[in-house]
Structure 1
């Protein structure tokens, strides 16, 4: 009979708690508690069955935090594949462009429905892009400079994993103009996204084909992992991230839509992207931050 794989639970709090976290985890019955970040993140040999069970244990103890239960073996991933909009950055680029075009309310409503999975992503993208027709191409750089901001921990996550030998890739249902710049800002090796079509200095209201959506993200995961997605950490927030999140060795929902959070292995709900490093067993002293 095969022995069960040893499980480890990682707890991450949104605020520093002194020694309360480590002591509290030990009091809850977890053993071999190790501090990853003083007062903020610890890991311990698991008494929880899965991440949902561990969250229930935290809730019963009135502790607010993010938690992940997984096998010890293979927890440090050699591939990082991330969504961009509302994951690595705090904005939806198409919504911000729509604001410059004076159609943000119309576009944002379509974006929200698509990210919840209520309407097909490809059709929703075409409809939204059509509303940008006539927008000067120069607006894209202005939008990036004035509106787009990295989410906390995005650069640290990418650089720390890359320094430790991981392949890093952004796969976005957004646009290459932005993914190229976000990849450079974070330190991702590569990026894939959709291409906005322009002519004579303005957007034509069309997008290049094929459209990068849910299946293309899954295909990118399989390709970068050489067919073994268990090697990967995948992070996203919307319905078009579901396939890659479910297939990855560690799939994380980041402040995600309900369907995505329910399907993911674990979720980041109250901390930042550095939590994805703690979940892999990295400690503060191993972080690459500049």
Structure 2
């Protein structure tokens, strides 16, 4: 059996669309997970035209996920941080404070779309932060960083059902530790900014956590927990998340860069992080906030 899930912003999912698609694909009765926001129906086989329909409903502000029904509710969340669990790129915010925001933001965008080597890109960007007072990190956290809508509900709902949550970022521990604590993650991994005195040196402590390290985190944490990568829901937005998303049971490109979306089967462009609960079959009334 397969299950089709349709998700939109609140008020954006029309019952007529759900019924039309259910009829076309021979689905069972539709179940509404949230009124006018998320619905699902089961069916016996994967539709041949799922990709074409996905493109059509994207134009209507609707995300469409078709997946096997069995095993879709996962035991672990593995999440990227920048532009995924938070709405910003931390290094871009630090760079803005240092007066090199535009230059760093351009490098970040190209790196996240897979146009630049991640390690070289992070070295170049951090190098431009040399001499920045460490206190700026706390200021950025307090005044510039906002959580992605639905993040706390995602983490807390999965944990309430026995899940484990890990935050794994190519960003920096100074930020992941704060975000992980605020949202309720069980652990976090990221890069460390080198500091001398009260200022950043412009260097990143080795080894650098990039795409391969995120895959290693997936394998290491699941082995430690006695589960498999198939039990994991992973989410990210950039090409440095690709291996993690491809090897998890469900890998979600959330508002993903174009290069990442081309390689991911599950894409969420209109919903927020609660979409990751809906695609597991959680109703809004089950969310833990």
Moved more, 250-259 or 55-64: 55-64
Structure-1 residue corresponding to 2:69: 72
> Of 22, 25, 36, which aligns to 1:26?
22
Instruction: Determine the C-alpha separation between the residues in 1 that align with 2:106 and 2:18.
Output: 43
> Of 10, 14, 19, which aligns to 1:15?
10
Per-residue CA distance 1:203-225 (angstroms, 9 max, x = gap): 01111110000000000011112
For residues 63-142 of structure 1, the aligned pairs below 5 Å read 63-142=60-139
Task: Provide TM-score, normalisation by structure 2.
Answer: 0.93
Secondary structure, aligned partner of 1:113:
helix
Task: Provide TM-score, normalisation by structure 1.
Answer: 0.92
Aligned-residue Cα RMSD (Å) equals: 1.8
Secondary structure, aligned partner of 1:263:
coil
Structure-2 residue corresponding to 1:3: none
Instruction: Determine the C-alpha separation between the residues in 1 that align with 2:31 and 2:17.
Output: 11
What is the CA distance between 1:47 and its match in structure 2?
Answer: 6.7
Per-residue CA distance 1:173-222 (angstroms, 9 max, x = gap): 00000000111111111100000111110001111110000000000011
Total equivalences in the alignment:
283
Structure-2 residue corresponding to 1:191: 188
What is the CA distance between 1:58 and its match in structure 2?
Answer: 5.4
Structure-1 residue corresponding to 2:41: 44
> Of 149, 153, 157, which aligns to 2:150?
153
Cα distance change on mapping 1:59 and 1:200 into 2, 3 Å: closer
Secondary structure, aligned partner of 1:240:
helix
What is the CA distance between 1:20 and its match in structure 2?
Answer: 3.7
Structure-2 residue corresponding to 1:272: 272
The answer on whether the counterparts of 1:66 and 1:271 sit within 8 Å (CA) in structure 2 is yes
Secondary structure, aligned partner of 1:267:
strand
What is the CA distance between 1:54 and its match in structure 2?
Answer: 3.2
Secondary structure, aligned partner of 2:256:
coil
